[in-house]
C-alpha cells in the first residue's frame, strides 16, 4: 500500500512538472507574441526571402507571405505564424529559435541564420535558400520516386559520407509492407533501392527475389 501511494506521489510530481513547463511555455509565448510588430514588407523583400530553405539533409523550411504576413511551413505544419521582430528577424515558437534573413557577402546566396542567445550580433549561415522545386532524398522517397531519391542521395553522399537516407532494415520492412498489400511494383522499387544502397548485404537480394517471385518473374527471382 505504501509503495502504491509512493508511486502516485511520484506520478503527481511528474505531472506537476509537465504542467509547470507547459504553463511557462504558454505564458512565454503570449509575452513574445505581444512583442510582435506589424511590418509592411516591400515587394523586393518578399521576392528575395520567399521560398525554400534547406533545414537539414532530410527537411526544408518553406517561407511565404499572405496579406503582408509572414508564414512558414515546417515538419508537416502548413501555416506557422512566427513572432515578427523587424523586417528580417522573427521568432519561431515551434523551433524555440530566433531567425534572421541574411545574404552571404561573397556568394550572394541567401540564408536563414539562427540568432545566438549568447551573441545576437553573430551572423551564421545555417539554412541555405534553394530553388522552390528542390526536394531532399527523403522527400523523393516519401513520394515513392525512388530513382530520384537514389540520385539525390548519391549526390549528397559525395559531400557528406556519413549521410544515411534510410536504414536497411526499415526499407526492407517498407518493402514487405508493400508486398503484403499486393503493391508488388512499389515493393520491387523499394527492394531495388535497398540493393543500390546496401549492395554488400545478402538479405536485400533475398527480399528482392521474393518480390520478383510474387510478381511472377521467377527468372529474375533466382538470378
> Cα–Cα distance between 216 and 109 in angstroms, integer?
52
127 close to 102: Cβ distance less than 8 angstroms: no
Q: Do 93 and 74 fall within a single domain?
A: yes
Per DSSP bridges, beta strands 127-130 and 69-74 are unpaired
Q: How many domains does the chain have?
A: 3
What pLDDT was estimated at residue 14? 53
pTM of the predicted structure, to 2 decimals: 0.74
Please write the tens of the pLDDT for every residue from 192-206.
Answer: 999 999 999 999 999
Mean pLDDT over 118-129 rounds to 93
Structural domain ending residue among the three candidates 76, 108, 130: 130
Q: Do 90 and 155 fall within a single domain?
A: no
Range of 17's domain? 1-34
Q: Do 144 and 160 fall within a single domain?
A: yes
Please write the tens of the pLDDT for every residue from 150-175.
Answer: 999 999 888 888 888 899 999 999 99
Amino acid at each position: 500500500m505504501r509503495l502504491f501511494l509512493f508511486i502516485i506521489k511520484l506520478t503527481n510530481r511528474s505531472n506537476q512538472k509537465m504542467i509547470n513547463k507547459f504553463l511557462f511555455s504558454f505564458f512565454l509565448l503570449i509575452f513574445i507574441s505581444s512583442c510582435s510588430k506589424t511590418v509592411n514588407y516591400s515587394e523586393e523583400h518578399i521576392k528575395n526571402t520567399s521560398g525554400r530553405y534547406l533545414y537539414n539533409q532530410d527537411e526544408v523550411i518553406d517561407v511565404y507571405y499572405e496579406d503582408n504576413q509572414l508564414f512558414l511551413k515546417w515538419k508537416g505544419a502548413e501555416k506557422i505564424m512566427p513572432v515578427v521582430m523587424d523586417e528580417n528577424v522573427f521568432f519561431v515558437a515551434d523551433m524555440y529559435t530566433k531567425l534572421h534573413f541574411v545574404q552571404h557577402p561573397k556568394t550572394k546566396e541567401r540564408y536563414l541564420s539562427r540568432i545566438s542567445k549568447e551573441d545576437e550580433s553573430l551572423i551564421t549561415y545555417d539554412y541555405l535558400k534553394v530553388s522552390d522545386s528542390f526536394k531532399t532524398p527523403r522527400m523523393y522517397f516519401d513520394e515513392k520516386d525512388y530513382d530520384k531519391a537514389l540520385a539525390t542521395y548519391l549526390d549528397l553522399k559525395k559531400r557528406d559520407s556519413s549521410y544515411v537516407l534510410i536504414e536497411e532494415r526499415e526499407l526492407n520492412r517498407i518493402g514487405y509492407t508493400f508486398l503484403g498489400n499486393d503493391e508488388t511494383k512499389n515493393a520491387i522499387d523499394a527492394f531495388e533501392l535497398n540493393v543500390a544502397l546496401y549492395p554488400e548485404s545478402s538479405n536485400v537480394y533475398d527480399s528482392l527475389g521474393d518480390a520478383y517471385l510474387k510478381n511472377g518473374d521467377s527468372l529474375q527471382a533466382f538470378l
